[in-house]
Structure 1
Amino acid sequence: MKHTSLTLLLLASLAGGALGAPSLPGGAREEAPLDGWAAQEGGTRGGLEAVPARVFTVATPAQLRAALADRNGAPRIVAVQGILDMSEGRPYTSTADQAERGEVRLRSNTTLIGLGPRAGFVNAHLMVSKVSQVIIRNLNFRNPCDVAPVWDPKDGREGNWNAEFDSISIVGATHVWVDHNSFTDAPFLDDRQPVENGKHKQCHDGTLDIRDGADFVTVSYNRFALHQKNMLIGASDKAVGDSGHLRVTLSNNLFEHIASRAPRVRFGQVHLFNNYHVGDRKHPVYKYEYGVGVARRARIVSQANAFDIAGARSCLDAVRSFRGRGADPQEGGVFTDSGSLLNGAPLGACGASGSPAWTVPYPFSPRPAEAVRAHVLATAGTGKLVERVAVAGCPTADFLFCDGFERTRAGDWERQAGSDAGLAAQPAGRRAEPGAAHDGHRARHGPGKTAEAGHARAGQRLRRDACALAASPRHPAVLPDRTPCRRAQLGRRRRRAAAWDRHRADPAAAHAGWRVEDAQARAARAPGRRPLRHAAPGDDALAAGGVSRWRKDHDRAAACVQRTERPRRAAGPGGGIELDDLRAGVPGVQPARIAPSLASQAFTAQAGDPAQHLAVSALASDGVSRLAFRATSSNPAVVEVTPAPGGITITPKAPGSAAIVLAGVHDPALQSTLTATVTAAFSAPAGGSTVAIAQAVQPAVGATAVPPDTPLRIRFDRAPRLAAAGSVRIFRAGDDALVDIVRLGEEVRAIGYPASRARATCA
């Protein structure tokens, strides 16, 4: 008998392929974001491209060592489950013993990531030495305690205890991203150590040190808490070879009761933005000494950081210069700041002020310092890893342009009458969306025109960012279904001085990059154009989810570029402008969103099918807090929808179509709409033969050690012909009870009854 096989994809990203093990978090296959040094010179991808055989889940030190043992440079992902005690319950007997057994040495092209909020290390020190392409995410570190610290009577006026071992040491390595980790001395704080030579026997060294020519490092969204000397960038004044290296970004980190070195910098070109420091100069254990240390040849650019330090009165209490008396001014460090706050007031002049003689080379958009505390407390540290929006300030890839005009009033924006489309700002300026005209004014609309940002009720301010899409019929924009665009424009016009500006993104050709141009005019002068950025076909900077940022007229502007494989035509109503979800929000913060877990906004089923659960991501603008939402069906006779934990339950009733609307409880204007199509009930073909499932699938039922992403093949006695809403049904032989349904386009993680699916086995 001739058989036809249908291949399905089992998504089981598990160590050894054993079904039932924890799956990888979404952040395991991410590269370093564009707003940091790690994205320069080719970017930092770690183990992003690891094949299934190079993905490991480890729960013991022995498994971790085995996963990292080989020196094969191929990408690997190592997911840590639970807390790994590298001492394995056997106390270290000496510094040498601790150095050998406690070390975790990472290889090139590695992503090390924690599974869930409680994964991490104790009695361990990670070494990232002379390697490249390393990512460390979502891990808890109890800072290692040296079992044999050494007393140095010449260290300081009274001598000091010196210890070895940092939680992470980045030594001569390049392209490293350290993100969403938590570091602390707790529960073994310094005051719990014995007192010798008149001082507590300090057993903690640094938390994260970056030295000896390390380069292209981003440290983001980490929580550093309860520690004395936190972070060195450049280990010694004598390490002159560090000049030209140590390019490091620190952003959105929490420094919580860190006494000093947050960070202390020598030689490096270091960018600090949107970090939050909280401390107390009278803390019982970790008295605040200073935050940022500016040492030999440091070149530090600081922007919109926030310091809440009890007892601090000026920048000199937060930023300390280590320039010695009589030192060559050229050898001293430089610290320049804009927009930072100390206890709610401008940071002010610092002792190491000056020009850093370098400029930040990458796109970034710092949020105001007033918003840093809330944002960092909500997002920094372990257990807060979420799918990263590609560009800060642009909520999803469906948004093409974000343009900041919060500094002007709605009355400064030209409004056109006599059109058939409008942009209306809702009360309090919280949201702007396509809507009816007010006072006879509407946005410009028609072939070759651009959307005018700023239709509002009288006296209302458009004081926050808004994002929109606009296109002409010849050059359509990216539509909600992510149809690619050939050319898109977002324009704005001010009444005053007849000033206007426009930005255009134009792909040179299919498969090519984008060219971003800025056109400006003042009064009667002709527009002058200048290309701002061109991405060649191989340039990742403006690839899908990329961003190009520039400044114009002292306002921020961002082009959030989505490159697609093959442009095709798509026109809006009447061949004019298409607007996709125009919103307002805090600059640099993604808007709240409701996103069903579907490849497209379409749901298909057959009448009488069992109810299906659909996961829904409903998140506030901090990317963490859950939003309450309602779900309704426009035609309950065709499809019913009810709330369920983590999403909704959809029950197909009868053939037909319906719209399923998900709307926020507190903000009904925040919506996501699905199109539900229900076709006729499933009917088994006549004349088919019955094949035992054990004989019809490969791999076999009950197989173990199946590699991740192994195709599951089901053999049929005749070729199946499936319509768009067709499906494959699996029935129980004894009573014809329905076991499971496999639909076209679905990602199938397991096949079987619900109980057996919970065990992740195939039946």
Structure 2
Amino acid sequence: MRARHIGAVAGTLALLCVPAHAEARDVSRDTLPANDGWASYGTSTTGGAAADDAHVYTVTDRAGLVRALDNGSDTPKIIKIAGTIDANTDDDGEHLDCADYATDGYNLKKYLAAYDPRTWGSAKPSGPQEEARQASAAKQAERVVLRVGSHTTIVGLGKGAVLKGASLQVKDADNVILRNLDLRDAYDCFPVWQPNTGGLGDWKTAYDNIWLAGATHVWIDHVTASDKGHPDAAEPTWFARNYLRHDGLLDITNGSDLVTVSWSRFADHDKAILIGNGDTATGDRGRLRVTLHHNTFESVVQRAPRVRFGQVHLYNNRYVVDEDDADYRYSLGVSTESGIYAENNAFTTPGHVEVADLVKSWNGTALHQTGTLFNGYPVDLLAIHNAYNSGSERDLTADVGWTPNLHTKIDSAAVADREVARGAGAGRIP
């Protein structure tokens, strides 16, 4: 009885010590912690934390989100997303599908007949059906492309904030935070056929879930990005190529710089993260500085990430390749003048995937890696890449020309694997 009484008194005192006005912290005004990756370099990343009350919005539909974004204005703003927002809707909130966007006589069957490589050849598509495709694509873009301006925070409320069908585009903007968002299915209704004189050609799609182009000081945290709703695996094959409807989950290109991506989940997709969009984009030298930490890459075919030019710190990430992921190609893409510094990452790949499959190089020269686990065992990605790809790819050195110093605690790969499995993705901000 005495112990029970003491416990009751202690509980009562604890309640009395909590101020009556106490509330949960407002994560919408969180700023990037000090030393948390490249986005903390120089002027730190604060997003819309300085917004006045008139520029704090809670939105529940596309129309409200568009108004809050204010055409990508630089006014400090905080946008809170509640529930599910579908970007493929009209001004009255009615859902739009691909047939609603088709215009000027566009018809997929006619498009396929017009540009069949066996009769059209290797020339770039032109003529009525390609013009109709472009016009139809422009109608969809008006709905699904959402421009994010400088000094903006977009944050999901609770565990059910979903933005589907949208392409968030941070172009030539500075100081942006995207957090606690489930971004699904940036679905392109009108892929374009791109012939290739040296091969079969391929289908090209227009939309990334998030696209950073010329963006600086960006923090992406506790985001989930996937194809949920329209997996590419369910699409047909035309001209002997999968009719892809999705581009990247996150592209960081066109001179973007000082980006931190943390505690996020990239899943069920072909191309996950592209950093640097071309081997000839030499203006990217000295830019594309990106930190990726405590992220999950699950059932991702490639680009986790693929890097050109950038200095990329990749630590405490978790990679899972399912047994039935027969299309898996690679995880780390080492491309022109890239400097990937990889520390304490864990790969779980039951089935057909081998250590030598994890790294692929195109014109890359270096990869620094330490503390890597493969199915629970320590491995040297660099040594195995060089041993198994000698002759087909250039040997890589460990000297990437830089050493990261902007980071929080770096755990062992085993510890990070467990923590990321529990904590990465939307709805999991502590």
Please give the TM-score of this superposition, normalised by the length of structure 2.
Answer: 0.79
Deviations 1:214-254 (A, max 9, x none): 00000011111100011100011111100000000000000
Give yes or no for the alignment of 1:365 onto 2:409.
Answer: yes
Letter in 2 for 1:154: N
User: Does the residue aligned with 2:170 lie in a helix, a strand or coil?
Assistant: strand
Structure 2: distance between partners of 1:156 and 1:84:
42
2:26 is matched with 26
Secondary structure (helix, strand or coil) at the match of 2:290 reads strand
Within 5 A, what are the aligned runs for 1:422-571? Answer: none
- Determine if contact 2:284/2:309 at 8 Å carries over to the other structure: yes
Match of 1:471 in 2: none
User: Does 1:172 pair with 2:178?
Assistant: no
Q: 2:185·2:230 contact (CA, 8 Å) conserved in 1? A: no
* Partner Cα distance (1:11, 1:219) in 2: 34
Of the candidates 90, 93, 98, which is equivalent to residue 96 of structure 2? 90
Task: Give the counterpart of 2:399 among 331, 344, 355.
Answer: 355
Aligned equivalent of 1:291, options 310, 331, 334:
331
Does structure 2 conserve the Cα–Cα contact (< 8 Å) formed by 1:300 and 1:336?
A: yes
Distance change >3 Å, CA 315–CA 335, structure 1 → 2: farther
| 1-structure distance, mates of 2:204, 2:73 | 36
- Structure 2 counterpart SS, 1:207: strand
Following superposition, the deviation at residue 62 of structure 1 comes to 1.0
Aligned partners of 1:371, 1:71: CA distance in 2, in Å?
40
- The alpha carbon displacement at 1:25 in A equals 6.5
Quote the residue 1:233 is aligned against.
Answer: 275
Whichever residue aligns with residue 29 of structure 1, its letter is R
Determine if contact 2:185/2:229 at 8 Å carries over to the other structure. Answer: no
Match of 2:224 among 176, 179, 182: 182
Mark the CA change 1:237 to 1:71 in structure 2 (over 3 Å): closer, same or farther. closer
2:356 corresponds to 1:321: no
Gaps of 5+ in 2: 1-19, 90-94, 103-135, 387-395
Cα 1:215–1:183 change in 2 (3 A) is same
Secondary structure of 1:235's match?
coil
- Measure how far apart 1:159 and its partner are: 2.5
Distance verdict in 2 for CA 1:79–1:279, change over 3 Å:
same
Aligned counterparts of 2:174 and 2:237: Cα–Cα separation in 1: 41
Q: Does 1:335 align with 2:367?
A: yes
Greater relative contact order: 1 or 2 (C-alpha under 8 angstroms, separation 6 or more)?
2
Q: Which amino acid aligns with 1:385?
A: I
How far apart, in 1, do the equivalents of 2:416 and 2:343 lie?
Answer: 11
SS of residue matched to 2:349: strand
For 1:195 and 1:148, the matched residues in 2 are separated by 15
| Cα deviations by residue, 1:515-564 (Å, 9 ceiling, x for unpaired) | xxxxxxxxxxxxxxxxxxxxxxxxxxxxxxxxxxxxxxxxxxxxxxxxxx
3-state DSSP class of the match of 1:151?
Answer: strand
Q: Is residue 143–residue 207 contact of structure 1 (8 Å, CA) maintained in 2?
A: no
**Partner Cα separation in structure 2 for residue 221 and residue 173 of structure 1:** 20
Check whether the contact 1:336–1:354 (CA below 8 A) recurs between aligned residues: yes
Match of 1:422 in 2: none
Percentage of matched positions with identical amino acids: 40
Give 1:199 shift. 2.8
Structure 2 matches for 1:222-301, cutoff 5 A? 222-280=264-322, 282-283=324-325, 287-301=327-341
The one-letter code of the counterpart of 2:376 is G
Cα distance, 1:363–1:376 mapped onto 2, change above 3 Å: closer
Deviation at 1:71, TM superposition (A): 6.2
Gaps of 5+ in 1: 1-9, 13-22, 324-331, 387-763
CA distance in 2, matches of 1:48, 1:162: 37
Once residues 306 and 374 of structure 1 are traced to their aligned partners in structure 2, the CA distance between those partners, rounded to angstroms, is 10
User: Following the alignment from structure 1 to structure 2, what is the Cα–Cα distance between the partners of residues 54 and 217?
Assistant: 24
Go from structure 1 to structure 2 and tell me whether the alpha carbon gap of 1:27 and 1:156 turns closer, same or farther (over 3 Å shift): farther
Instruction: State whether structure 2 residue 222 is matched by structure 1 residue 206.
Output: no
Work out the number of aligned pairs and report it.
Answer: 357
Q: Does 1:121 align with 2:163?
A: yes
Give the counterpart letter for 2:48 in structure 1: G
Aligned equivalent of 2:192, options 150, 166, 178: 150
State how far apart, in whole Å, the 1-side matches of 2:235 and 2:74 are.
42
Match of 1:159 in 2: 201
Letter in 2 for 1:99: A
Secondary structure of the structure 1 residue equivalent to 2:54: helix
TM-superposition CA deviations, 1:53-102 (whole Å, max 9, x none): 11110111111111111665342110011111111112233211122211
Q: Cα deviations across residues 434-463 of structure 1 (Å, max 9, x unaligned)?
A: xxxxxxxxxxxxxxxxxxxxxxxxxxxxxx
Structure 1 residue 24: deviation in Å? 8.9
Report the equivalent of 1:45. 46
2:419 is aligned with 1:379: no
CA contact (8 A) 1:125 1:144 kept: yes
Structure 1 residue 153 displacement after superposition: 3.0
The 8 Å contact of residues 167 and 208 in structure 2, kept in 1 or not, is answered as yes
Change (3 A) 1:166 1:27: same
The SS at the match of 2:83 is strand
Name the structure where strand makes up a greater proportion of residues: 1
Work out the CA distance in 2 between the residues paired with 1:96 and 1:24. 43
Alignment-mate amino acid for residue 341 of structure 2:
V
1:11/1:170 Cα in 2 relative to 1: closer, same or farther (>3 Å)?
Answer: farther
Residues 75, 355 of structure 1: CA spacing in aligned structure 2 closer, same or farther, 3 A cutoff? same
Residue number in structure 2 paired with 1:76: 77
Could you say which residue in structure 2 is the equivalent of 1:400? none
**What letter matches 1:338 in structure 2?**
T
The separation in 2 between residues aligned to 1:162 and 1:73, in whole angstroms, is 32
In 2, are the aligned partners of 1:37 and 1:218 still within 8 Å (CA)? yes
User: What residue number does 1:216 align with?
Assistant: 258
Task: Provide the C-alpha distance between the structure 2 equivalents of 1:61 and 1:187, rounded to a whole number of angstroms.
Answer: 18
Structure 2 CA distance for partners of 1:290 and 1:156, relative to 1, 3 Å: farther
Q: Secondary structure at the match of 1:64?
A: helix
State the distance in 2 between where 1:77 and 1:24 align.
17
Q: What CA distance in whole angstroms lies between the structure 2 residues aligned with 1:178 and 1:165? A: 18
CA distance in 1 between counterparts of 2:76 and 2:24 reads 15
CA contact under 8 A between 2:345 and 2:413: conserved in structure 1? yes
In structure 2, the partner of 1:112 is 154
Determine if contact 1:68/1:107 at 8 Å carries over to the other structure.
yes
1:607-644 Cα shifts (integer Å, max 9, x gaps): xxxxxxxxxxxxxxxxxxxxxxxxxxxxxxxxxxxxxx
What whole-Å deviation, never above 9, does each CA across 1:556-610 have from its counterpart, x for those lacking one? xxxxxxxxxxxxxxxxxxxxxxxxxxxxxxxxxxxxxxxxxxxxxxxxxxxxxxx
1:257-313 Cα offsets, whole Å, 9 max, x none, are 0000000000000000000000046425xx221101000000010000001112466
Pair 312,242 (structure 1): closer, same or farther in 2 beyond 3 Å: farther
- What is the CA-CA distance between 1:321 and the residue it aligns to? 1.0
Displacement of 1:120: 2.0
Contact 2:47 2:150 in 1 (8 A): yes
Contact 1:282–1:288 (CA under 8 A) maintained in structure 2: no
Instruction: Work out whether 1:303 is the aligned partner of 2:351.
Output: no
